[in-house]
Amino acid sequence: MEERVQENKMGVMPVKKLLISMSLPMMISMFVQAMYNIVDSIFVAKISENALTAVSLAFPMQTIMFSVAAGTGVGVNALVSRALGAKDFNRANKIAVNGLFIYFVSYIVMLLLGIFAVRPFFAMQTNAEQKEIMELGVTYLTICMVMCFGIYGQFIFERLLQSTGRTFLTMITQGIGAIINIIFDPIFIFVFKMGIAGAAWATVLGQIVAACLAFIFNHLKNTDVRLILKGFRPSGEIIGTIYKIAVPSIFMQAIGSVMTAGMNLILMGLSSTAAAVFGVYYKLQSFFFMPVIGLNNGMIPIISYNYGARKKERMLDTLKFSYVIAAAFCLLGFLAFELIPGPLLKLFSASDEMISIGTHALRIVGLIFLAMWYCVITGSFFQALGKAMYSLYVSAARQLVVLLPAAYILAKIGGLSLIWLSFPIAEVMSLLITLVCRKRVFTEIVDQI
């Protein structure tokens, strides 16, 4: 009992050391996840370009699946950290078990979508001449969604570890899950000759193992939060509070699904190879961007905890140092996209046509890295303070109000040569709106502490 009343390290450890200690394990694990995404697509590309295109077309539906899991995790993470900062351990326990209930219900919804919605989804994006792409995509996505209890279990148990500062353990769970994916991809795809279904089964197997490990770590190592299921009744107040933070985050990420589906529709009308390039872009972007997400996952509980403890300087120091780290990763992404787009595309067994389209695309889209770091970190700062709606406004404006209309217009004007300009145009708009929202958050919240 004595251990539970002591100040958590998030309130006393030097900020830079704290952010690194909490974020580095998650950044490493997210980097491994990004490597898996790339390696997975490399193996899928060896099946055929149609298989790579099918996985690219599946991405919007997968984004919805992940956005629900990640967005709910933001709400659970922030509220548990805030309760611990206020030394309200009983509420932290109640938030955790209600979060587990939410994830179970969310899986049931995704299971039903996997059974009934996948084929209509692919039929909407393909025509009669692209039947092979549709069948490959239906096979891959159905397995990923029906078996997504692994990723949902992984998210809830890892977020509970993160919210209490045990990020090293999440590095282990995510890393092992990703490594299992990478190992079993070639075995299932080529040795067992399962093709694209093998890629899907390797993915869900890694997620299930990671979920089991995260559950074990919570049971054995997490002394701050206890999952007490005996006598559990869902709390409307707690679930509502979780979703007050989570829903904007879910919609913010789900907006990316709408944008991706819209871009796929536009690109498939021009060239199925262009749609494959678009999918490859997201995989390559994740290599530099996923560590920033890991940084966010370490930053949010620190800021939430110190907001609950009313420690303004620690909040701001965390924000400033996060900017520096995120900017460094995005600079690396910018340089890679500008200097070596051809070699990057060749990793995916790119045809001459794919290299021609992709080299031009990556150099233009790579410009977004110059502003992305600021927008992403500031958006996570909004979420940590319970102002996730601001992040939603920024994301909606960027991807729906600006990017998709710009892509449609530019495609009509100049086809594939101009369509990629929609990305940097949208990022500039995102930056401007972020600056406005940041000023308001400081006025309404930060300056009042």
Domain ranges for the chain: 7-448
Contact 359, 275 (CB under 8 A): no
Q: How far apart are CA 66 and CA 388, in angstroms?
A: 17
CA dist 439 → 158, 177, 339, 434 (Å)? 32, 40, 36, 9
Contact 75, 106 (CB under 8 A): no
- N-term to C-term CA, the chain: 31
CA count, 13 A, side-chain hemisphere, 74: 33
Place of tokens 């690109």: 267
The number of beta carbons lying within 10 Å of the beta carbon of residue 17 is 10
- Residues contacting residue 71 through CB under 8 Å, at least 6 positions apart: 246, 247, 248, 249, 250, 251, 252, 253, 254
pTM: 0.82
How is residue 63 written in tokens? Answer: 């984004």
Contact 123, 108 (CB under 8 A): no
How is residue 121 written in tokens? Answer: 């989804």
Tens-binned pLDDT, residue by residue, of the chain (449 aa): 344 445 567 777 888 999 998 888 878 877 887 887 888 899 999 999 999 999 999 989 998 999 999 889 989 988 998 898 888 999 999 999 999 999 999 999 999 999 999 999 999 998 878 899 999 999 999 999 999 999 999 999 999 998 887 878 988 998 899 889 989 999 999 999 999 999 999 999 999 999 999 999 999 999 899 888 888 999 999 999 999 888 877 887 788 889 999 999 999 989 999 999 999 998 899 889 888 988 988 898 899 888 888 889 999 999 999 999 999 999 999 999 999 999 999 999 999 999 999 999 999 999 999 999 999 999 999 988 988 788 888 989 999 999 999 999 999 999 999 999 999 999 999 999 999 999 999 999 998 88
How is residue 326 written in tokens? Answer: 């995120």
CA dist 130 → 47, 126, 324 (Å)? 16, 6, 45
What burial class does residue 42 get, using C-beta atoms within 10 Å of its C-beta: 0-12 exposed, 13-18 middle, 19+ buried?
middle
CA count, 13 A, side-chain hemisphere, 259: 26
The number of beta carbons lying within 10 Å of the beta carbon of residue 24 is 18
